[in-house]
Structure 1
Amino acid sequence: MQSAIKRPGTFTAKAKKKGITPAQLQANVEKNPDDYDEKTRKQAQLRETLVKLNKKKKAKK
């Protein structure tokens, strides 16, 4: 999974620039994918995957 993260912090930086959280940006991208470029859409998908993995990891403990 580490190889999937090419630019750490970029998605968060985009969210901060817009004045919202990364979760809010992810929700916006999922609702209106045509308003965002392909790179941002893929970053949102990756964030969704990583959040799910992290939740599963925490649930096991």
Structure 2
Amino acid sequence: MGKQLTVLFWGFIYGEVIGYIISALTGVQFDWLASGVICMIGGLIGINCLNYFISDKKASK
């Protein structure tokens, strides 16, 4: 559970930074909530998929 909370926190922080940079480069209005939440969800899905493929199948049995 701690790993998922950490990923959500840092996903939101990195989403804010990346969203701000992209909005400044493209000239689009910055939406802080959308950029943070999208990166949080993407990070959570990514870390869970990565954990599934990396986990040791013999240790879980």
Q: Which has the larger radius of gyration?
A: 2
User: Higher RCO, 1 or 2 (CA under 8 Å, sep at least 6)?
Assistant: 2
Q: Give the TM bin, normalised by the shorter chain.
A: 0.3 to 0.5
TM-score scaled by length of structure 1: 0.41
